[in-house]
């Protein structure tokens, strides 16, 4: 309130406002949730695994390293295998199977994305596939009840706003389709929105291409609200960072606690070179695709660093929590990122959309000044649905109510004291869809549960149950189901119970018109 104090010198009553704001600020930490899109587990200099893998050396990410040194590194952090499931899980505290949002949503209403993109009324366009699309919430989450094919929820951001937080959305939203409340951050409790809507990726990362806002390239993925940067050399990642800093000025000047959802479109496709950083990777001899991808990663790393510098400049770094994660595993369905398809998350198996580790295990860090322990590594698995109660606890918000029964658990004890969350929780990853037109055996129609060191994978196409020991076999190369029949049975039962209790959506067996059998009903 510096400037208003100047202009309103006569209004002495404003003084207590400023005072109480500062006090409140000390009680309520600022929170930045820094979300990267399609960002692979091994795609930085930060060591999430037991070793540094060859892939870690492909990237220059000094600011992620800086965050890792200040905060805690979660070595077993999970997301869902696709964007909307993770993002709606974060917003609701529900598992994606419970949300019945288990693949990405289209920008368009009533347009399930299964298989080739989905046409209303068509169960599954790929009729040669024995499995057809089941019913699911293809319109995403909604803050209004009664919208067809949505899950009605109370978003956590609304509670932050109610509790005095200044809530800022910058970047990708992707919680629901157009024509529904879920497509607007203003319905989720955000005071400010920049560039968030129903699209799941950007039509273009280039300011020179107006981020897709050109008549010769426009699609629903054109990024809105950024006309200030049209025609310039400003990469989308940079534009969003600049907008975030701009929006932060206001709450910081008021001493109001803020929540910034810095939700980058990067590093999703289209894999587009970031001219600021590409040369390093070409010089390293990476192939063109890998160089492009690495330059995008460095752009996101710079964004993180710019925000951390900004907090320092403003003198609020000590009271600002940073949560860093990716919304799913790295994309590996083809070679746009270079390398060989389906291997670009090595040592993890597969990538985005798959329930193998490459699709769901993600980079994740927490930095809570004075609370987290610098440089600590925490091995207990975490899930996206844990973030809702975690952030509520961080903000000191208790006794809040939600229309949904949440599945997540607060991670505050875990990240501050490495306790309080069982390493043996049952973690469910449900992807009962055909993701892309081409059949992909290690991706489509799969469900998995991790519990402790074990992971059960259910292939709906074949009815096969696979068992992996994640601790000893990170790459899921050795199916040991035959050696542990009772464990397979127990985990299948547990997974079936979970899915039934959530009324999870299942695909339809085309021959019978009935849902696919649960893993314990085979």
Q: Residues interacting with its own copies, by CB under 8 A? A: 1, 3-4, 6-8, 11, 13-17, 19-21, 23-24, 27, 107-109, 159, 161-164, 178-181, 183-184, 186-187, 191-194, 197-198, 210, 213, 215, 218-220, 222, 224-225, 227-232, 243, 246-247, 250, 396-400
In the bound complex, what is the minimum distance in angstroms from residue 250's beta carbon to its own copies? 6
For its own copies, the closer of residues 180 and 440 by Cβ is: 180
In the bound complex, what is the minimum distance in angstroms from residue 137's beta carbon to its own copies? 17
Distances in Å between the Cα of 111 and the Cα atoms of 53, 93, 200, 270, 442 are 40, 25, 14, 22, 25
If one counts every other C-beta atom within 10 angstroms of the C-beta of residue 27, the result is 11
d(CA 396, CA 390): 10
If one counts every other C-beta atom within 10 angstroms of the C-beta of residue 422, the result is 13
Burial class, 273, CB count within 10 angstroms (exposed 0-12 / middle 13-18 / buried 19+): buried
d(CA 38, CA 330): 5
Integer distance in angstroms from the first to the last C-alpha of the chain?
65
In the bound complex, what is the minimum distance in angstroms from residue 31's beta carbon to its own copies? 15
In the bound complex, what is the minimum distance in angstroms from residue 226's beta carbon to its own copies? 8
In the bound complex, what is the minimum distance in angstroms from residue 199's beta carbon to its own copies? 8
Contact criterion met (CB below 8 Å) for 138 and 109: no
Residues 6+ apart with CB under 8 A from 154: 92, 143, 401, 402, 403, 404
For its own copies, the closer of residues 50 and 162 by Cβ is: 162
Question: Tokens in use for 507?
Answer: 């695909």
Contact criterion met (CB below 8 Å) for 72 and 60: no
For its own copies, the closer of residues 196 and 507 by Cβ is: 196
In the bound complex, what is the minimum distance in angstroms from residue 135's beta carbon to its own copies? 21
For its own copies, the closer of residues 177 and 409 by Cβ is: 177
For its own copies, the closer of residues 42 and 397 by Cβ is: 397
In the bound complex, what is the minimum distance in angstroms from residue 101's beta carbon to its own copies? 18
For its own copies, the closer of residues 168 and 508 by Cβ is: 168
Contact criterion met (CB below 8 Å) for 229 and 207: yes
For its own copies, the closer of residues 108 and 461 by Cβ is: 108
Taking the CA atoms of 469, 472, 477 and 480 in sequence, report the sign of the dihedral they define: negative
For its own copies, the closer of residues 184 and 416 by Cβ is: 184
In the bound complex, what is the minimum distance in angstroms from residue 190's beta carbon to its own copies? 10
**Alpha-carbon Rg for the chain in angstroms:** 22
Beta strand 72-74 pairing with 364-367: antiparallel
Sheet with 446-451, side-by-side order of all strands: 426-431, 446-451, 454-459, 464-469
Centroid of chain to Cα 51? 24
Question: Tokens in use for 33?
Answer: 């949730």
In the bound complex, what is the minimum distance in angstroms from residue 28's beta carbon to its own copies? 8
Kindly report whether the peptide bond that precedes residue 47 is cis, defined as omega within 30 degrees of 0: no
For its own copies, the closer of residues 206 and 431 by Cβ is: 206
Burial class, 146, CB count within 10 angstroms (exposed 0-12 / middle 13-18 / buried 19+): exposed
In the bound complex, what is the minimum distance in angstroms from residue 127's beta carbon to its own copies? 28
Secondary structure of 133-189 as H, E, C letters:
CCCCCCCEEECCCCCCCCEECCCHHHHHHHCCCEEEEEECCCCECCCCHHHCHHHCC
Contact criterion met (CB below 8 Å) for 367 and 69: no
d(CA 446, CA 457): 7
For its own copies, the closer of residues 104 and 458 by Cβ is: 104
For its own copies, the closer of residues 6 and 285 by Cβ is: 6
Segments of 7-139 assigned E as strands: 30-36, 72-74, 131-132
In the bound complex, what is the minimum distance in angstroms from residue 218's beta carbon to its own copies? 4
d(CA 383, CA 14): 43
For its own copies, the closer of residues 101 and 362 by Cβ is: 101
In the bound complex, what is the minimum distance in angstroms from residue 63's beta carbon to its own copies? 25
For its own copies, the closer of residues 291 and 391 by Cβ is: 391
Contact criterion met (CB below 8 Å) for 475 and 492: no
In the bound complex, what is the minimum distance in angstroms from residue 322's beta carbon to its own copies? 23
């Amino acid at each position: 309130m510096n400037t208003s104090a100047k202009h309103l010198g006569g209004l002495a009553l404003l003084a207590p406002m400023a005072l109480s704001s500062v006090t409140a600020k000390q009680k309520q930490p600022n929170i930045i949730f820094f979300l990267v899109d399609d960002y692979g587990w091994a795609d930085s200099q930060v060591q999430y695994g037991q070793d540094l893998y060859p892939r870690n050396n492909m990237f220059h990410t000094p600011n992620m390293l800086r965050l890792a040194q200040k905060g805690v590194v979660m070595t077993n952090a999970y997301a869902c295998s696709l964007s909307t499931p993770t993002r709606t899980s974060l917003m609701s505290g529900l598992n994606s199977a419970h949300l019945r949002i288990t693949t990405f949503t289209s920008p368009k209403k009533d347009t399930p994305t299964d298989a080739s993109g989905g046409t209303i009324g068509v169960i599954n366009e790929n009729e040669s596939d024995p499995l057809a699309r089941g019913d699911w919430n293809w319109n995403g989450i909604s803050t209004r009840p009664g919208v067809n094919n949505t899950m009605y929820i109370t978003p956590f951001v609304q509670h932050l706003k109610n509790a005095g937080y200044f809530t800022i959305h910058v970047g990708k939203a992707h919680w629901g389709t157009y024509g529904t409340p879920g497509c607007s951050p203003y319905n989720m409790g955000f005071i400010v929105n920049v560039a968030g809507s129903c699209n799941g990726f950007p039509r273009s990362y280039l300011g020179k291409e107006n981020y897709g806002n050109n008549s010769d390239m426009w699609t629903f993925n054109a990024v809105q609200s950024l006309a200030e940067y049209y025609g310039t050399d400003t990469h989308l990642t940079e534009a969003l960072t600049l907008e975030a800093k701009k929006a932060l000025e206001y709450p910081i000047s008021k001493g109001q606690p803020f929540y910034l959802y810095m939700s980058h479109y990067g590093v999703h496709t289209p894999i587009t070179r970031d001219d600021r950083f590409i040369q390093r990777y070409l010089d390293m001899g990476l192939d063109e695709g890998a160089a492009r991808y690495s330059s995008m990663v460095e752009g996101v790393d710079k964004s993180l660093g710019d925000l951390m510098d900004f907090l320092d400049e403003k003198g609020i770094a000590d009271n600002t929590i940073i949560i860093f994660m990716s919304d799913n595993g790295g994309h590996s369905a083809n070679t746009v990122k270079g390398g060989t398809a389906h291997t670009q998350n090595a040592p993890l198996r597969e990538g985005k959309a798959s329930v193998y580790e490459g699709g769901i295990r993600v980079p994740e860090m927490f930095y809570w000044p004075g609370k987290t322990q610098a440089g600590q590594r925490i091995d207990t698995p975490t899930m996206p649905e844990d973030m809702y109660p975690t952030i509520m606890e961080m903000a000191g918000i208790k006794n809040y109510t939600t229309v949904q029964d949440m599945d997540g658990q607060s991670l505050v004890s875990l990240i501050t004291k490495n306790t309080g969350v069982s390493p043996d929780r049952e973690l469910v990853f449900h992807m009962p869809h055909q993701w892309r037109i081409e059949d992909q055996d290690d991706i489509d129609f799969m469900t998995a549960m991790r519990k402790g060191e074990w992971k059960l994978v259910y292939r709906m196409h074949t009815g096969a149950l696979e068992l992996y020991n994640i601790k000893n076999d990170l790459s899921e190369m050795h199916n040991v189901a035959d050696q542990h029949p009772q464990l397979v049975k127990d985990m299948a039962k547990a997974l079936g119970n979970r899915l039934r209790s959530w009324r999870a959506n299942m695909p339809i067996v085309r021959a019978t018109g009935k849902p696919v059998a649960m893993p314990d009903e085979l």
